[in-house]
Amino acid sequence: MSEPLVIIGQGMAATKLVEELSAHALGRYSIIVIGKEPRRAYNRVLLSSLLAGEIAAEELELKSADWWRHQGVTNVYGRGVASIDRHAKMVTLEDGVSFGYEKLVLATGSHPVVPPIPGMDLKGVMTFRVMADVDAMMAGAQSGRAAVVIGGGLLGLEAAYGLAHAGVKVTLIHLMDRLMERQLDVPAAALLKATVEAKGVEVLLEAKTARVIGTDRVEAVELADGRVIPADLVVCAIGISPNADLARMAGLETKRGILVDDGLCTSDPSIFALGECAEHRGVSYGLVEPAYEQARILARRLAGDAKATYAGSVLATNLKVSGVSVFSAGDFLGEDKDAVIFKDEARGIYKKLVVESEHLTGAVLYGDTSDGLYYLGLMRSKAEVPAFRHDLIFGPQQQA
Indicate which CATH number applies to the domain containing 341: 3.30.390.30
User: CA of 305: how far to CAs of 6, 292, 302, 308, in Å?
Assistant: 19, 18, 7, 6
Instruction: Write out the H or E segment, with its range, that includes residue 24.
Output: helix 12-24
Q: What would the pLDDT profile of 34-89 be if each residue is shown by its tens digit?
A: 999 999 999 998 898 888 888 999 999 999 999 999 999 999 999 999 999 999 99
Greater pLDDT, 94 or 155? 94
At 5, give phi and psi (nearest 5°): -125, 125
- pLDDT value at 375 more than 50: yes
pLDDT of residue 14: 98
Q: What would the pLDDT profile of 228-249 be if each residue is shown by its tens digit?
A: 999 999 999 999 999 999 999 9
For all residues of the chain together, what is the average pLDDT? 93
Task: Give the angle 289-293-299 at the CA atoms, nearest 5°.
Answer: 140
At 290, give phi and psi (nearest 5°): -60, -35
**Of 52-61, 153-162, 310-319, minimum mean pLDDT range:** 310-319
Q: Would you say residue 307 lies in a domain?
A: no
Residue that finishes a domain, picked among 211, 236, 261:
236
- pLDDT value at 281 more than 70: yes
Indicate if 88 and 225 belong to the same structural domain: no
Q: What is the mean pLDDT of residues 95-109?
A: 98
Indicate if 179 and 327 belong to the same structural domain: no
Q: Helix axis angle, 154-165 relative to 186-198, nearest 10°?
A: 20
Q: What would the pLDDT profile of 119-153 be if each residue is shown by its tens digit?
A: 999 999 999 999 999 999 988 888 889 999 999 99
pTM of the model: 0.92
- pLDDT value at 397 more than 70: no
Instruction: Write out the H or E segment, with its range, that includes residue 154.
Output: helix 154-165
Indicate if 56 and 142 belong to the same structural domain: no
Q: What would the pLDDT profile of 5-45 be if each residue is shown by its tens digit?
A: 999 999 999 999 999 999 999 889 999 999 999 999 999 98
- pLDDT value at 399 more than 60: no
Residue 39's nearest CA partner among 151, 154, 134, 113 is 134
Indicate if 107 and 38 belong to the same structural domain: yes
Q: Would you say residue 119 lies in a domain?
A: no
Q: What would the pLDDT profile of 319-363 be if each residue is shown by its tens digit?
A: 777 678 899 998 898 777 889 999 998 888 999 999 998 999 999
Q: What is the mean pLDDT of residues 146-163?
A: 93
- pLDDT value at 227 more than 80: yes
pLDDT of residue 369: 94
Indicate if 225 and 134 belong to the same structural domain: yes
Indicate if 215 and 264 belong to the same structural domain: no
State which residues form the domain around 154. Answer: 125-236
Indicate if 13 and 107 belong to the same structural domain: yes
Q: What is the mean pLDDT of residues 214-218?
A: 95
Indicate if 220 and 192 belong to the same structural domain: yes
Q: Is residue 166 left, alpha or beta, with left meaning phi > 0 and alpha meaning psi from -120 to 50?
A: alpha
pLDDT of residue 126: 96
**Of 96-100, 251-255, 336-340, 358-362, minimum mean pLDDT range:** 336-340
Q: Would you say residue 365 lies in a domain?
A: yes
pLDDT of residue 400: 47
Residue that finishes a domain, picked among 193, 208, 236:
236
d(CA 256, CA 283): 9
d(CA 363, CA 12): 26
Indicate which CATH number applies to the domain containing 293: 3.50.50.60
Residue 148's nearest CA partner among 119, 125, 182 is 125
pLDDT of residue 26: 80
Residue that finishes a domain, picked among 181, 212, 236:
236
Are the CB atoms for 190 and 319 separated by under 8 Å? no
d(CA 19, CA 49): 25
Residues in the chain: 400
